[in-house]
Amino acid sequence: MILNHLTPLQGSNKKGKRLGRGKGSGKGKTATRGNKGAKSRSGNSVKLGFEGGQMPFHKRIPKFGFKNRNKKKYKIFNLETLEDLINIGKVKRNLINNNVLIKIGLLKKKEVFKILGKGELTHKIKLFAHKFSKKASLKIKKLGGKPIIK
C-alpha cells in the first residue's frame, strides 16, 4: 500500500451546495442570509462578547479589589535556612549577601529578598538583605551580628 494511491470511499466526500447562483439552484438571490441587515451583507463580523447591544456580561458584573503593579515581590529566607546553609558549608560563617545566594542558586540576579525570624541562629554573621523582619534583626543583633539593609 502506497499513501499516494489512497482515495476516499465513494460518497464520503460530497460537494457543498453553491449559494447565490440563481433561482434554479434553490439557494439563489439572498443565499440563505435573509433580506436586510448587517448579517446579510459581506464584511460583517460580530465582535467577541457582543450581545446585540445589550450591556455585555463583563460590564454587568461588579468589579472590586486593586492590584498594585509596582509592588515589590520579595524572595523570603528564614533564619533557619541560613543556619542550615552555614552548617552544610555552602556559606561562610561571617558574611551572607545576595552574591553568595546567587552563587548557590537560591536567588536570581535581579531578585530582592527579605529575612524572616523563623528558627534560631547559632553563628555571629554580617547579613546584607533588602529587608528584615523585626524578629530576625533582633535575633541577629542578640548574637552580635549585623543586619545591614541594602
Q: What is the DSSP letter of 19?
A: S
Q: Which residues contact 144 (CB under 8 A, 6 or more apart)?
A: 124
pLDDT for the residue numbered 107: 94
Instruction: Average the pLDDT over each of 9-18, 65-74, 90-99 and give the range with the smallest value.
Output: 90-99
Report the Cα–Cα distance between both ends of the chain, in Å, rounded.
73
Neighbours of 82 (CB within 10 A): 22
Q: pLDDT digits over 38-81, tens only?
A: 889 988 888 888 998 999 999 999 988 998 999 999 999 999 99
